[in-house]
Amino acid sequence: MLEFSSKALCPLDGRYEEIKDELSEYFSEYALVKRRIIVEVKWLEYFINNILNIEQEDKKSYISKIKRIINKYNFSEFKRIKEIEEITKHDVKAIEYYINEKLELLGLSKLKCFVHIGCTSEDINNVAYALMIKEGLSDVWLKKSNKLTNKIDALSKEYSSIPMLAHTHGQPATPTTVGKELKVYAYRMKEAINYLKMIKIKAKFNGATGNYSALSIAYPNIDWEENSKTFIKKYLGLNFSEYTTQIEGHDYIARILDSIRNFNNILLDFNVDMWLYISMGYFKQIPVKNEVGSSTMPHKINPIKFENSEANIDISNSLCMALSNKLTKSRLQRDLSDSSSKRNIGLAIGYSLQAIHETSKGLDKCVVDKEKIEANLIDKWEVLAEPIQTMLRKYGYPDAYDKLKDLTRGKDIKEKDLKSFINSLDFLAKEDKKILLDLTPLNYIGYASKLADRK
């Protein structure tokens, strides 16, 4: 295994092979061939159940037998299909010939003529990819992205009340809490995930140019559009694509890839902030015995998990964008470029998964340094200029903003300076003056704790 992975061209097949193991059942060549078989066999099943004039008992027997073709698929069967493909030089036609071989062995030779009937290759392929995407997202990507989102959300509650100096434009700003800032990312990630889940995964099954032409000639008294819709929805659990050329338009794939890119970008933003918080000392990284941070500087614990996540996001985003741009375009009724492009969908998702994995591992090594955060905040009395000038506005104080600007901007303001100013404001009601005098950089956090604790 080490020899194979060390010679892999793609890191997902080598260094990151854990991700490959999770995704290979959904996006590998082996997985694509399996789902092509599923589509062909289910189409034959649909014909047996709904089109052919067969006795009910025979139907049950035939369907029970042909389902074995799916259930017994393994690597040996995959190799046989690839042997046939070496002769046909056509991947989908190889599936048809393979199924015909199996029907002969099952004593169902009379059904061979109904395998792939009325279909173009893209009828099989677009459904196969739709199944791969649906299952790969549901079983792997959505589970992993939800798990990371929930981890960040849990941390937001744990750290909900730890005050922290905020930074806008890199400068000291109105305090917040560690938990509230984490909550922002958990919320954004959930929104991105929910949007992706709403996208309908579509498929078409309508012949060479999307007009049901061949089947309408062979069986003129059957409503093939309605049968196609039933087959896609009930037999395959997908949404029906009503108008197509030879290919399904791939618009839903583009939307899914764009949604993954959106999630990636939120995760990238999170990684950058975590990197900055670590560099500022707000988070400490837990040292792991025997791990090395630098080949020459023994003291170092580098935030490499967040950096690795950034790199994998960049690759995933590039693939998502390239595929989203490509797949929605096709010359006239079709060209073959989408076929080669779609084979890289698994890579786009795989690099996103690797980024999620790296960020999660990075979080596992981080703990909040409360003392460092408090020390950084306690002397930033200038951040209280905002609530003081806002209180003065309430009383109609002229030029309240400019007064506080003159008092605080670019100056080393201390507690005594602000309190002296507050005490000079004789027009303030006693309770309002007390509110201002009780304010500190540590307790001026507004609703931050409540927002972080919210479900």
- Residues with a catalytic annotation lie at 169, 294
The string over 358-372, giving b where at least 16 C-beta atoms fall within 10 Å of a residue's C-beta and e elsewhere, is bbbebbebbebbeee
H or E segment to which residue 254 belongs? helix 251-280
Distance between the two ends of the chain, CA-based, in angstroms? 45
- In angstroms, the CA 145 to CA 186 distance is 11
For 366, the 3-state DSSP assignment is strand
Sort strands 366-368 and 283-285 into parallel, antiparallel or unpaired.
antiparallel
CA angle 225, 206, 113 (to 5 degrees): 105
**What φ, ψ does residue 116 adopt, rounded to 5°?**
70, 15
| Cβ contacts of 392 within 8 Å, gap of 6 or more | 400, 403, 404, 425
Asked if 244 and 206 touch (Cβ cutoff 8 Å), the reply is yes
| Cβ contacts of 102 within 8 Å, gap of 6 or more | 68, 69
- In angstroms, the CA 76 to CA 191 distance is 43
- Phi-psi group of 126: left, alpha or beta (phi > 0 → left; psi -120 to 50 → alpha; rest → beta): alpha
Asked if 324 and 292 touch (Cβ cutoff 8 Å), the reply is no
Asked if 300 and 388 touch (Cβ cutoff 8 Å), the reply is no
